[in-house]
Structure 1
Amino acid sequence: MCYHIFAFIAGFVLDLLIGDPHFIPHPVRLIGSLISFLDKRLNCDAGYNISEKKLNLIKYKRGMLLAFTVIFATFAMSVIIIVAAYSINLYAGVIAEAVMTWQILATKCLRVESMRVYDALRTDGVDAGRRAVSMIVGRDTSVLDAAGVTRAAVETIAENTSDGVIAPMLYTAIGGPVLGFVYKAVNTMDSMLGYKNDKYMYFGRFAARLDDVVNFIPARISAYLMIAAAFIGGRQFDGKNAYRIFKRDRFNHASPNSAQTESVCAGALRVHLAGDAVYFGKLVKKKYIGDGLREIEYEDIKRANRLMYITAFLCELLSVAVMSLVLILL
């Protein structure tokens, strides 16, 4: 446990310092490649002369097969790496754990990608902002004005504070990099397959529901940590309003988890988030989150990142404190 705590802290520091350089091969990209490989081979309805209901059931079962295959492969490879590293010596094991923890977290990566939107809006205008934000959201960005681009970036930061930072941190604290990477596999499957369109409505449903399950508790922990961050983050955040909007709007989303942190962020910044969006050429009606006590501005991207960083530090401190307590009790 002592070495796990050290590797956990070292991995967090590495994430803050290095982030996710594109020239370094990332395990999540390998997981994504495996998902894409299985998707092409399993998500096919050619050759079936059966009812639509039976075909949809087949797609659902094939989606389950893909999910279990990806989870097992991720689990097995993570275990092999950890066991192999510790079999060399203790130092190699700790280094492997630290590096894997670094690759599980996405704190700096989330900041870097969202700040590209900020820089594009500030220096080159709305067209550049649309191009930049299209790299981190799934919606049609061509119809967004400057406020819409900013809102999309802030929503991404808020949602991924849970999915990309807090949830993987919690799972890694509980089960080491093995459980952390299993979580990342589930989250990546949802990102790639969890669409409500003809291709993935049934094939990706199991992955989407599994992601809802594994994020249910972490999303709520993330929200309360973000509320605490709003209270200690200074005058730019409104902690009381963050809590109020969280209690009121935390379910204003199709996902049971996404609006948990989005509602806190909207309240802390005193802005509107969410609302109608265009996906694949279709308008999707969505509820607003927050009261919109002021107009959103591109500086809110920086503010959302500060809120995310404070939340990440609080979670790291909490995780280390709990692991240290367990170590003492053992």
Structure 2
Amino acid sequence: MNILIMVALAFILDLLLGDPHSWPHPVKIIGRLIAWLTKKFNRSSYSARKKKWLGALTWLITVGGSGLVTYIVMRLVAVNYYLYMVIGTYISYTCISARQLAIEAEKIMKSLQQNNLKKARHQVGMIVGRDTDKLSAEEVTKATIETVAENTSDGVIAPLLFLVVGGPVLGIMYKAINTLDSMIGYRNERYKAFGEVSAKIDDIANYLPARITWLLLIISSWLLHDDTREAIAVGERDCEKHLSPNSAFSEAVVAGALHLQLGGPHYYFGELVKKPYIGNDHFVIAANWHLKRTITMLYLSSFLGLISFELIRFLIIWE
């Protein structure tokens, strides 16, 4: 029951506060650790085989260390129930990023409304991995929609699932897995060998959450009176049209529900990566409406996910 309370309070805190940059955040520490290990282990003079083994060691240190530290902290504060709940709630809160994801998307939307494309490119570059310095306004909008859709799974539904199942310890371990993938899980020359283990395990960890998010977004499209039939059709047809086995699941539903075409080729670190298109080629994107709608779908599916996960765990506990 304590975990259910923690996660519910954490979700509320996220909606109220977002992620203030000045606040202490475990993911920032995890990111610094990954950057340090990458600098030490991912050297150009090493063979691909050695990089792969060192990449696996980086994963073990990061994920195992994050889980162990969180477990020790939770054990230490367990001597006082209220302290245990406060610390557990705060750690859980740092695993969820619905509000901050929406905030970043809203910043980009505002810049586009003000015709400040340069600023919008910089802002979207803070939340996507692709090169953004030459994107058009429509491409900036698409990149933002894709990120909000994909991170509905990675940034909200998946953390909620792992938190409800295993509390703050499993939640932080998931965030470590996801952060590793976002930092070193690329298929370019620099990271292909070193980040291979991190990328594969992230795919495994997100396999179920991505498919749950697919369903939740379809339900959300129906509740919002969007094109649910198209959401299902495109969601089924294009859900695997991505280099990642999971990322296209949420993008495909959003593309169908909102009559968008997402995906396509993008530049990463100066290299063109050819990706298939997701969705049908409809009209030009209306930045303001489509972005707002995607954010609404993010919030609604997140709420549905929280209620579903908590209810299932509650029923299991009280069987």
TM-score, L = length of structure 1: 0.94
Question: Which residue does the alignment assign to 1:270?
Answer: 259
Q: Amino acid of the residue matched to residue 301 of structure 1?
A: L
Which residue is equivalent to 2:12?
A: 13
Match of 1:319 among 306, 309, 313: 309
Unaligned runs of 5+ in 2: none
* DSSP 3-state at the match of 1:201: coil
Matched, 1:184 2:183: no
Describe how 1:237-316 pairs up with structure 2 within 5 A: 237-299=226-288, 300-316=290-306
Separation in structure 2 between the aligned mates of residue 74 and residue 97 of structure 1, nearest angstrom: 14
Equivalent residue letter for 2:76: A
Alignment of 1:170-181 (within 5 A): 170-181=161-172
Amino acid at match of 2:95: I
Cα distance in 2 for partners of 1:134, 1:37 equals: 22
**Deviation, structure 1 residue 293:** 2.7
Please give the alpha-carbon distance, in whole angstroms, between the structure 1 residues aligned to 2:144 and 2:60: 32
Determine whether 1:72 maps to 2:36.
no
**What CA distance in whole angstroms lies between the structure 2 residues aligned with 1:56 and 1:121?**
43
Deviation for aligned residue 1:45: 4.4
In structure 2, the residue corresponding to 1:286 is in which secondary structure? Answer: coil
Secondary structure in structure 1 of the residue aligned to 2:78: helix
Structure 2 CA distance, aligned partners of 1:72 and 1:293?
46
Read off the aligned partner of 2:14 and give its amino acid letter: D
2:5 & 2:214 partners in 1: Cα distance?
A: 26
1:256 Cα deviation (Å)? Answer: 0.3
| CA positional deviation for 1:292 | 2.8
- Specify the alignment match of 2:52 in structure 1: 60
Question: For residues 132 and 66 of structure 1, what CA distance do their matches in structure 2 show?
Answer: 29
**2:35 maps to what in 1?**
36
Inter-partner Cα distance in structure 2 for 1:42 and 1:146: 39
1:233 aligns with 2:224: yes
Contact 1:133 1:152 in 2 (8 A): yes
The 5 Å alignment of 1:141-180 reads: 141-180=132-171
Change (3 A) 1:274 1:45: closer
**SS state at 2:131 partner:** coil
Report how far residue 33 of structure 1 moved. Answer: 0.6
- 2-side partners of 1:140 and 1:199: how far apart? 16
Contact 1:274 1:287 survives alignment (8 Å): yes
Distance between the aligned counterparts of 2:87 and 2:55, measured in 1? 32
**Runs (5+) with no aligned partner, structure 1:** 49-54
Identical columns (%): 39
Give the whole-Å Cα distance in 2 for the aligned partners of 1:152 and 1:183: 24
2:15 maps to amino acid? L
SS in 1 for 2:15: helix
Find the structure with the greater CA-based Rg. 1
Residue 143 of structure 1: CA displacement?
2.0
What amino acid maps onto 1:105 in structure 2? I
Contact 1:233 1:310 in 2 (8 A): no
Judge conservation of contact 1:246–1:263 (CA < 8 Å) in 2.
yes
Instruction: Give 1:126 shift.
Output: 2.2
Q: Which residue of 2 aligns with 1:85?
A: 77
> Which residue type is aligned with residue 273 of structure 1?
L
Q: Secondary structure at the match of 2:267?
A: strand
Any idea what SS the aligned residue of 1:124 has? coil
Amino acid in the other structure paired with 2:116? G
- Alpha-carbon offset, residue 283 of structure 1: 2.0
Q: How many residues end up aligned between the 2 structures? A: 318
